[in-house]
Structure 1
Amino acid sequence: MKHLNLRIQHFAFALCLFLIATSAMFAQQNTGKIKGTITTSDGELAVGVNIILKNSKYGTITNEDGAFEFSRVKANTYTLQVSLTGYETLEQEVNVVTNETTSLDLQLKVSNKQLKEVIITNNRAKLFPKQSNYVSKMPLKNIENPQVYNVVSADLLKEQAITNYEDAMKNVPGIQKIWESTGRGGDGGSYYSLRGFETQANIVNGLPGLSNGSLDPANIERIEVIKGPSGTLFGSSLVSYGGLINTVTKKPYSGFGAEVSYLAGSFGLNRVTADVNTSVDDADNVGIRINAAYQTENSFQDAGFRTSFFVAPVLSYKVNERLSFLISTEFMQEEKTTPSMLFLGRNSPVQYANMNDLNYNTKLSFYSNDLSIKNPKYNLQGQMNYKISDQWTSQTALSRGSTRSNGYYSYIYDNENSQRDFGILITREQSQTITTDIQQNFIGDFKIGNMRNRLVVGLDYFSKNTIYNGTGWAWVYNVNAQGEKNYIDPATGLIVPGNPARDRVLTQSSVDNILSTTGVKDNNIKDATYSVYASDVINITSKLIAMASLRLDYFDTEGNIKTDADDYNQIALSPKFGLLYQPIEDKLSLFANYMNGFRNIGPMINGSTGVSKTFEPEHANQLEFGVKANLLGDKLNATVSYYDIKVANLVTADPADINNSLQGGEAQSKGFEFDLNANPFKGFNIIAGYSYNDSKVIKGDESNVWLETGKRPIWSGPETLINLWATYKFDYGSLNGFGLGFGGNYASDNVTLDSKVTGKFVIPSYTVINASVFYNVSKFRVALNINNITNKEYFNGGWSTINPQKPRNVVASFTYKF
């Protein structure tokens, strides 16, 4: 049945690609082409100019060479309209003849209105968009925003041949993967350390988008990593004190376009993607865009695999000039094995002095391809925008999602028995998480006196229901870091009777037989959050901007619906303030902010008295200041910032009663970040980042591996991170279209375990170097990417885990645009 389903998926995907190709072939009949170049009145190439054929579905923009092209245009006479802010709109009659190309050279004239601002969307803007509609829940340029965020664009993902979401994060200062995507129920996605706190990528287009598995990059327009505790605008359920990760998905655009890519690489990598966009009607009021991907890949170890199928249809409908709708969906089928992670013991002295002493054979997975877990997921988002007036817009958004975990999940956990071995522990999961989110925002842009106000007022309802079923946990056998097995039961210290080498193996039948005695889980957890928030960005002067925001959050949970003992509700207030001054308007800004985040803490039962005890919400407060620059005609975008985050009301152990908990712990995370996106000369782009983080438990427990006073928390990741990626594309001579890419990442030592009880274990620092060579023209792109060129053996980790990463690997990619 497994192979039958896989074949059906293969057939369905092949049929989809065939229909796309067939449609494109027929569309080429009775058509011609229009191509040309546009310059400005001063002779400069006009980049990012909007061009449409009036009264048709055709539209495009000029590329970095000021060139444009319309392919497969129906033979007819059209009026070509060219528009760019700050210049007069240009109209030119064009006659399209079957199987012929019409060439144009056009020049724009400066508008008599002499508009103050000319915004050109070019290749640099694609790598770093100047504006976001999500970071502040309103359209706001980065140079005007007193909050720090970093962007990873779709173009950058393509340059680096990114095939998984985690690798995209390597382009962001201050973030590091610390835990692999396990696929387990509730939180099976990858964990990252961001400004010293753990977080997951679970927000899509500003709305909830949870996943128990991996995320596919096929439908990503850009990723926004929003720094600092962002509870004021995004609540508490899906964000961390260090920030949040917002994935912005692709939307339909005017006209027709299609792109198909194939990537093949080391460890059995095969990936096919398709991106098809079309306008349904001649007036471009209805648009459809579909992104799809199919991927198979093996592990670099002796066992392990991942197979996924992803499709994301999107529909846009412009009813009239005031009312529009956008419906986005994502469907994903994923099956994989649990990635190898060694868990060091957390309750006794660590048995290994360092990585050399551990002597980890990273070619071994300690697992089996027969024990996989499936993570099907869907996400539906609907948005209605209604322009109430020239000053006010209503935005109604609905998000509905479901993510499942069905299959085998395992731990490789230190037995802590002085034998230097790890137990293989397995459970069979059957869980589902269902989320619903409804937001109503009113977004205004108006003046009070001479002060411009950009205001968002919103209501937010979010509910989550997580159902945990499946078996309990079972021990199968022990293994050391070199792969040697033994069958000594850690609970009894005795060798398992019978023939364990035959009966305790990593096959479905053997593991199911062992799990049959572990019982079953039966949990059904529900909670809901009701919120109201407001945020106002005020231009006190054209150069001085202030931001003031506030959220009121009511959290109501039933906990496990089978008992009332864990029911509770809480109210939290979350403020946010920012101040920004532009010595050079729209070019240079000095900013400072105060931001707040919070987390609701569930009731805990005193193990000594049996009495349930409630706690106040935890609160994180950030102070930050820095500089943002947008200089040299958009050729240099940079942000430098210093932050200080303090968390209060942490729950810690009661020193007088080990079974009781108290509230009052404190932690601090402070650091420095630098982000650069530059295009110093034509064809050359560079992205670079540096971050330093100093995290410490200020007030906690003695001998607590999770929260020990004076220690760096074991989820904080490396103190220092550096990222770099640079590309150069030749635009002249015989090398025209060819390009080179070079970059890599550095991470300092990572303390994955540190307490008085366990001692300290450090994952060593590493430097990984990557490179690419490519040929890119208007219709197709061919590239070869080599990752980890020096074949560096390196590891990530957190919460006492050690995760081996990929050795040297190669990815070849081919992309064709219709």
Structure 2
Amino acid sequence: MEQNDICLRRQLKKWFLSCVLVAFMLAQGIAQTGSGTIRGQILTADGNPVPYVSLTLEGTGKKASTDNDGRYEFTGLSAGNYTVVVSSVGYRTAEKSVALNGDDRLTVDFMITAANTQLQEVEITGRKESSYKNTSTFSGTRTETPIKLVPQAISYVTKEVILDRQGFKNNEVVKNISGVNQSSYNNNGFVVRGFATSNRLINGLRMGSSGWNQSSLPNMERIEVIKGPASALYANTSPGGTINSVTKKPLDEARKSVNFATGSYNTYRITTDFTGPMNDTKTLLYRLNLAYQNAGSFRILQDAQDMVIAPSVSFIPDDKTMVNFDIVYSGTNGRLDRGQAIFGATAGTNLNSTPISFAIGKESDYQKEYHLYSTLSLQRKITDYLSFNASYMKYLYNENLEEHRTSNRYAVDADGVEIPTLMEMQTIHRVGKNYTDNLNLYINTNFNTGSLEHKVVVGYDHISAVSPVGNSNYNAGGYLNAEGTGVISGAYRPENRDRYLIRDNMPVPNVPHFNLENPDYSITDIANYVNVSSPSAPTRYYLNGFYIQEQIKWGKFNALIALRQEYYSDMLNYEMADEERVEQNALLPRFGLVYTPIEPISVYATYTEGYQPQSAGTIGDPQRFGGPFDPLISNMVEGGVKTEFLQKRLVMNLAIYQIIQNNVLVNAGAADNPDLLRPIGQERARGVELDVYGQINANLSVTANFAYNKALITESDNPEEVGQVFPNAPVTQGGFWAKYVFSNRALNGLGFGLGSNFAGERFGSGANRLRLPPYMVVDAAAYYSVDKFRLSFNLNNVFNKEHWIGGFDYNRLFPGTPRNFLVGVGYTF
């Protein structure tokens, strides 16, 4: 018992001494903890904040990291001398020594510079800028070049604008780009400088079919529009402009974020973005973007689910070799929205005769599509003056569609009199896929001859697109024959009345008419109709392009001279006994000159030509669209000024241009084929554009644009069309978006956004030339950031303005979204 007491006393003594020691250590810690603060902001040389920069207080073990606005803070500091050290991969280390007295609140700002200013030649690692302004582009010259030195207008939206507007689809953000207007809800439904554009690029490589649904944005770094013909760089492209989507690339510093959003029309959305090094030497980098959205719409039956899976890996074993690999899956499960149908088929018809939510279709309709593509890029420096660059993309598009749609005409009675409350219908069940391969090889060399600096690119492109055997359509339409045993395709012809089945003085349709006054959206089995299965002809087109480009710098002048030789082959009924082949070739020049009288100002002029074949492999199934047609041939003259203000934080670009295009295609308005196209001759666009990007100060960010563009038909087989404004091409359009974030102590972390977009009147296509009224829509937002959380509230179309973004005719109008909101919460770690 005594022995136990001794042991107990020893244990109590140890416990007491331990408590005393802990109390002493805590007292020391408390005694050493002060109330002083060192805070500040890290900026680049051009005034942009630098997020995720590491800072240390030398000798204290204290560490901090900058937030999205480049701000940092050390708290709980005692009086003394401190050295603040800033370090970040890609920037030179910086340090400052300060003396802290008592409860001082010192502000210590840094301006850091890049450790290596050499530009990439293939986009391997990601963009570190975190503002509305983007400094460089690969799309204008195929190598990274400051935008101010590219002799052509290149407009864009960055991921920061996408984040602040909580954009998820392409059409939600391209309205922030001058000269771009929507003509429909479809992914290829854009008009740039008055010209319909269908060719799309991803990282400067040709994608396959753009599909129906708008492209998703969660894995995009920025969206660029190369204004005017880009054929001298990218082969067959649209003359008004080419949309290039740039995917997010890995960064050599760890960043992770998760965002959730919900709002109007039962929208639910989650996105993630993880990036950073995979090893200690940072030779292996990764990025992973994931996204899922389930959302409805103000349009009837237009709910959809979207998913994006996008991993990316960069390998940089040494300073001479860089490799990047992307693979992206993007899928949508929804229905195809053909737009609003209205009563009446003449110009001046009341657009409000049906509600803007009005759609034509059935609950059982569906539209499932997915895109799967992978990209491999390599840059290898052979010497300090010579490098080899290669990029390859494999692209798969897959579609499974079933829809009830109009035949683009009203129902008629047995005498052929139109009934404007009934629409003639057809059904389409289409299954198909296509594959696109894009290989780009080029050599880049830099050298000097006297006072001239040369940058020469010599390259080769190969693009191949195949629509294989097996693509097929299963269609129903037309009217029942007199016996009710078969179908007479096409429009009803009253002169052949005896051939049709007539009931209640009306021909009986194969697919029941759609009643605009009493719509029926119930489930319908298309097997109840008389369907005709028709295979789509297999097609393949491929091109081989050889080009040379030289950029010459002499003092304040930068000249660009480029020439591309294009060889194009198109095959209808590919690899079949009756294969038809079309061969074309074109020599495409490009000339540009940039003059920089003083550092913030560049003046430029350019001339370039465009070429775009319009045969089966490019346009699609000739049974649906017609053709082959003569190629689109275009040219552009452009001049402008590119300026930088406020220590390069703010950019303003002005462009003046003329574009002429021959062999333009428009919808033929054929009664028997609603997709048929026809050429109209020549179109000319003349206009002025203004784009503004960047920061007015550390608190205020802005992007703004304005365009004046007159796109007229100047030649046509139909004299009445000459002088008409091209469909869906407003003469004026523009808008802005501004964000202000408070930095004072009381409101720190709070921010507001405000923006507006407007477009002048537009006209549809076809004989009726429906007029779409001008509109202006106002959007607003509020943000609050605390610690690693960010709360966002976006209110779009604040004043609930009824408007139409585009349209073709009386049964295909595309109204804009009414007032809607989105609430988001994000966590960065």
Partner residue, 1:225: 225
Measured after TM superposition, the shift of residue 791 of structure 1 is 1.2
Instruction: Give secondary structure in 2 for the equivalent of 1:143.
Output: helix
Does the C-alpha gap of structure 1 residues 559 and 734 become closer, same or farther in structure 2, counting only changes over 3 Å?
Answer: same
Partner residue, 2:704: 688
Does the C-alpha gap of structure 1 residues 40 and 724 become closer, same or farther in structure 2, counting only changes over 3 Å?
Answer: closer
Instruction: Give secondary structure in 2 for the equivalent of 1:267.
Output: helix
Which residue type is aligned with residue 723 of structure 1? Answer: G
Correspondence 1:462 to 2:467: no
Which residue type is aligned with residue 545 of structure 1? Answer: N
Which residue type is aligned with residue 431 of structure 1? Answer: G
Does the C-alpha gap of structure 1 residues 796 and 424 become closer, same or farther in structure 2, counting only changes over 3 Å?
Answer: farther
Partner residue, 2:532: 518
Correspondence 1:602 to 2:620: no
Identity of aligned residues (%): 23
Does the 8 Å contact 1:46/1:66 carry over to 2? Answer: no
Measured after TM superposition, the shift of residue 354 of structure 1 is 2.4
Does the C-alpha gap of structure 1 residues 500 and 133 become closer, same or farther in structure 2, counting only changes over 3 Å?
Answer: closer
Measured after TM superposition, the shift of residue 635 of structure 1 is 3.2
Does the 8 Å contact 2:439/2:462 carry over to 1? Answer: yes
Partner residue, 2:746: 734
Correspondence 1:767 to 2:780: no
- Measured in 2, the distance between the counterparts of 1:497 and 1:537 equals 64
Does the C-alpha gap of structure 1 residues 234 and 575 become closer, same or farther in structure 2, counting only changes over 3 Å?
Answer: same
- Measured in 2, the distance between the counterparts of 1:743 and 1:424 equals 41
Partner residue, 2:359: 365
After the TM superposition, which residues 489-508 of structure 1 pair with which residues of structure 2 at under 5 Å, given as runs? 490=492, 494-496=506-508
Partner residue, 2:639: 625
- Measured in 1, the distance between the counterparts of 2:323 and 2:435 equals 24
- Measured in 1, the distance between the counterparts of 2:199 and 2:666 equals 27
Partner residue, 1:206: 204
Does the 8 Å contact 2:64/2:73 carry over to 1? Answer: no
Structure 2: gaps (5+ residues): 1-36, 57-62, 75-83, 98-104, 120-125, 413-417, 480-489, 494-499, 618-625, 668-676
Partner residue, 1:647: 661
Correspondence 1:318 to 2:316: yes
Does the C-alpha gap of structure 1 residues 80 and 251 become closer, same or farther in structure 2, counting only changes over 3 Å?
Answer: farther
Equivalent residue in structure 2 for 1:540, among 535, 540, 554: 554
Q: Which deviates more, 617-626 or 545-554?
A: 617-626
- Measured in 2, the distance between the counterparts of 1:149 and 1:563 equals 46
Partner residue, 2:756: 744
Partner residue, 2:330: 332
- In the TM superposition, what whole-angstrom CA distance separates every residue of 1:563-622 from its partner, at most 9, and x where no partner exists? 64631111111111001111212x101111101111124399xxxxxxx99876432110
Partner residue, 1:249: 247
Q: Which deviates more, 555-564 or 519-528?
A: 555-564
Measured after TM superposition, the shift of residue 152 of structure 1 is 0.3
- In the TM superposition, what whole-angstrom CA distance separates every residue of 1:695-720 from its partner, at most 9, and x where no partner exists? 1122211168xxx3332222x42221
Equivalent residue in structure 1 for 2:163, among 144, 158, 163: 158
Partner residue, 2:235: 235
Does the 8 Å contact 1:720/1:747 carry over to 2? Answer: yes
Partner residue, 2:144: 139
- Measured in 2, the distance between the counterparts of 1:333 and 1:277 equals 23
Equivalent residue in structure 1 for 2:473, among 466, 471, 486: 471
- Measured in 1, the distance between the counterparts of 2:45 and 2:320 equals 38
- Measured in 2, the distance between the counterparts of 1:730 and 1:449 equals 52
Does the C-alpha gap of structure 1 residues 273 and 668 become closer, same or farther in structure 2, counting only changes over 3 Å?
Answer: same
Does the 8 Å contact 2:307/2:331 carry over to 1? Answer: yes
Partner residue, 2:688: 672
Partner residue, 2:123: none
Does the C-alpha gap of structure 1 residues 282 and 104 become closer, same or farther in structure 2, counting only changes over 3 Å?
Answer: farther
Instruction: Give secondary structure in 2 for the equivalent of 1:232.
Output: helix
Partner residue, 1:634: 648
Which residue type is aligned with residue 689 of structure 2? Answer: E
- In the TM superposition, what whole-angstrom CA distance separates every residue of 1:707-765 from its partner, at most 9, and x where no partner exists? x3332222x422211111111111113211101111121111111135xxx24310111
Measured after TM superposition, the shift of residue 46 of structure 1 is 8.7
TM-score norm. by structure 2 comes to 0.78
Does the 8 Å contact 1:294/1:308 carry over to 2? Answer: yes
After the TM superposition, which residues 260-275 of structure 1 pair with which residues of structure 2 at under 5 Å, given as runs? 260-275=258-273
Does the C-alpha gap of structure 1 residues 67 and 601 become closer, same or farther in structure 2, counting only changes over 3 Å?
Answer: same
- In the TM superposition, what whole-angstrom CA distance separates every residue of 1:397-454 from its partner, at most 9, and x where no partner exists? 1100101110214433442553224323220010101000111121223212211112
- Measured in 2, the distance between the counterparts of 1:475 and 1:337 equals 20
Which residue type is aligned with residue 455 of structure 1? Answer: V
Does the 8 Å contact 2:50/2:70 carry over to 1? Answer: no
- Measured in 2, the distance between the counterparts of 1:664 and 1:43 equals 52
Does the C-alpha gap of structure 1 residues 192 and 547 become closer, same or farther in structure 2, counting only changes over 3 Å?
Answer: same
Instruction: Give secondary structure in 2 for the equivalent of 1:415.
Output: strand
Does the C-alpha gap of structure 1 residues 275 and 234 become closer, same or farther in structure 2, counting only changes over 3 Å?
Answer: same
Measured after TM superposition, the shift of residue 456 of structure 1 is 1.7
Instruction: Give secondary structure in 2 for the equivalent of 1:319.
Output: strand
Does the 8 Å contact 1:328/1:380 carry over to 2? Answer: yes
Which residue type is aligned with residue 450 of structure 2? Answer: G
Instruction: Give secondary structure in 2 for the equivalent of 1:681.
Output: coil
Does the C-alpha gap of structure 1 residues 272 and 643 become closer, same or farther in structure 2, counting only changes over 3 Å?
Answer: same
Does the C-alpha gap of structure 1 residues 105 and 353 become closer, same or farther in structure 2, counting only changes over 3 Å?
Answer: closer
- Measured in 2, the distance between the counterparts of 1:560 and 1:59 equals 64
Partner residue, 1:445: 446
Q: Which deviates more, 774-783 or 286-295?
A: 774-783
Measured after TM superposition, the shift of residue 175 of structure 1 is 0.2
Partner residue, 2:284: 286
Does the 8 Å contact 2:374/2:394 carry over to 1? Answer: yes
Does the 8 Å contact 1:311/1:332 carry over to 2? Answer: yes
- Measured in 2, the distance between the counterparts of 1:135 and 1:438 equals 18
- Measured in 2, the distance between the counterparts of 1:126 and 1:52 equals 19
Does the 8 Å contact 2:50/2:130 carry over to 1? Answer: no
Does the 8 Å contact 2:184/2:805 carry over to 1? Answer: yes
- In the TM superposition, what whole-angstrom CA distance separates every residue of 1:37-83 from its partner, at most 9, and x where no partner exists? 567999999943895699xxx998775445389xxxxxxxxx97637
Correspondence 1:552 to 2:565: yes
- In the TM superposition, what whole-angstrom CA distance separates every residue of 1:19-48 from its partner, at most 9, and x where no partner exists? xxxxxxxxxxxxxxxx97567999999943
Does the 8 Å contact 2:601/2:644 carry over to 1? Answer: yes
Does the 8 Å contact 1:652/1:700 carry over to 2? Answer: no
How many pairs does the alignment contain?
Answer: 711
Partner residue, 1:583: 597
- Measured in 2, the distance between the counterparts of 1:731 and 1:613 equals 61
Does the C-alpha gap of structure 1 residues 499 and 259 become closer, same or farther in structure 2, counting only changes over 3 Å?
Answer: closer
Partner residue, 2:9: none
Does the C-alpha gap of structure 1 residues 651 and 49 become closer, same or farther in structure 2, counting only changes over 3 Å?
Answer: closer
Measured after TM superposition, the shift of residue 106 of structure 1 is 7.0
Instruction: Give secondary structure in 2 for the equivalent of 1:166.
Output: helix
Correspondence 1:408 to 2:410: no
- Measured in 1, the distance between the counterparts of 2:690 and 2:698 equals 24
Does the 8 Å contact 2:402/2:427 carry over to 1? Answer: yes
Does the 8 Å contact 1:461/1:528 carry over to 2? Answer: yes
Partner residue, 1:427: 428
Partner residue, 1:298: 296
Does the C-alpha gap of structure 1 residues 329 and 627 become closer, same or farther in structure 2, counting only changes over 3 Å?
Answer: same
Correspondence 1:390 to 2:384: yes
- In the TM superposition, what whole-angstrom CA distance separates every residue of 1:104-129 from its partner, at most 9, and x where no partner exists? 99776999x9x999xxx999862111
- Measured in 2, the distance between the counterparts of 1:295 and 1:143 equals 37
Which residue type is aligned with residue 680 of structure 1? Answer: I
- Measured in 2, the distance between the counterparts of 1:244 and 1:469 equals 28
Which residue type is aligned with residue 687 of structure 1? Answer: T
Does the 8 Å contact 1:150/1:225 carry over to 2? Answer: yes
- Measured in 2, the distance between the counterparts of 1:116 and 1:289 equals 23
